[in-house]
């Protein structure tokens, strides 16, 4: 069974370290998204549920909590788009919806709770009680999935011909006939201080 909003709020506060508007959004976003693809008990669907999150902020921790999808299990995919949005996919039925938080919900929160001084407190109070339709836009979508993206054992593993490091799941690049890791292929996000 899906837990209640209040139960998820208590669990989220504990695991995330505080309660905040972003987490209320994340919890409700996940509850709504799962319901929309016909999943009423995320615990039972763990093997077939995939979630894409588009931001690395508070809401994402809450989405992970409700869905049970985790980075380390490859069931949570992080796309760095800076949006409070997530897509929920049932791998068995291929049903998927993308849920986006509406920007006008902040203003709505302000008008609902003018007696609360700060926007943070207004949003925290309002996001618990606003209607789903006031908080989110839901769109049915199709997600193109590559076998290399799915949970389970790595499909492939190769060694980079330049640095020798192992690369799983087809993330290598082919450059002038050589198999290279993304870093050696020019996508390095760090500079070694010495080597
Ligand atoms: Zn937070
Ligand atoms: Zn390399």
Residue with tokens 């709020």: 9
Residues 102 and 142 in one domain: yes
Tally of CB atoms within 10 A around 185: 16
pTM, full prediction? 0.93
Residues 72 and 164 in one domain: no
Closest ligand to Cα 20: 1
Residues 138 and 159 in one domain: no
pLDDT band at 166 (very low <50, low <70, confident <90, very high): very high
| Cα 166 to ligand 2 centre (Å) | 8
Ligand 2 (ion): residues with CB under 5 Å are 160, 162-163, 181, 184
Closest ligand to Cα 59: 1
pLDDT score at 105: 95
pLDDT score at 43: 86
Residues 101 and 169 in one domain: no
Question: Domain span at residue 111?
Answer: 5-148
Closest ligand to Cα 159: 2
Mean per-residue pLDDT over the chain, rounded:
95
- Which is nearest to 103 in space by CA: 146, 135, 77? 135
Residues 67 and 121 in one domain: yes
Alpha-carbon dihedral sign for residues 10, 14, 19, 24: negative
Residues 94 and 180 in one domain: no
Residues 142 and 91 in one domain: yes
Residues 123 and 164 in one domain: no
Kindly report the backbone phi and psi dihedral angles of residue 180, in degrees, each rounded to the nearest multiple of 5, phi listed first: -125, 150
Residue with tokens 């799962």: 34
pLDDT score at 194: 81
Residues 128 and 182 in one domain: no
Is 68 within the bounds of a domain?
A: yes
| Cα 194 to ligand 2 centre (Å) | 16
Q: What is the pLDDT of residues 121-153, one digit of tens each?
A: 999 999 999 999 999 999 999 999 988 899 888
Number of domains making up the chain: 2
pLDDT score at 195: 63
pLDDT band at 45 (very low <50, low <70, confident <90, very high): confident
Residues 92 and 48 in one domain: yes
Residues 50 and 92 in one domain: yes
């Amino acid at each position: 069974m899906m837990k209640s909003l209040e139960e998820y709020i208590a669990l989220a506060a504990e695991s995330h370290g505080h309660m905040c508007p972003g987490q209320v959004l994340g919890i409700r976003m996940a509850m709504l998204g799962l319901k929309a693809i016909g999943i009423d008990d995320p615990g039972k669907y763990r093997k077939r549920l995939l979630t894409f999150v588009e931001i690395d902020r508070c809401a994402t921790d809450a989405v992970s909590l409700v869905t049970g999808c985790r980075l380390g299990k490859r069931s949570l995919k992080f796309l760095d788009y800076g949006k409070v949005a997530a897509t929920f996919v049932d791998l068995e039925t291929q049903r998927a919806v993308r849920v986006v938080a509406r920007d006008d919900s902040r203003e709505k929160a302000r008008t609902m709770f003018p007696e609360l001084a700060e926007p943070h407190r207004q949003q925290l109070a309002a996001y618990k009680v606003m209607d789903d339709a006031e908080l989110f836009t839901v769109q049915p979508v199709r997600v193109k999935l590559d076998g290399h993206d799915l949970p389970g054992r790595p499909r492939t593993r190769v060694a980079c011909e330049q640095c020798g490091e192992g690369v799983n799941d087809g993330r290598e690049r082919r450059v002038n006939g050589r198999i290279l890791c993304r870093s050696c292929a020019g996508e390095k996000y760090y500079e070694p201080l010495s080597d």
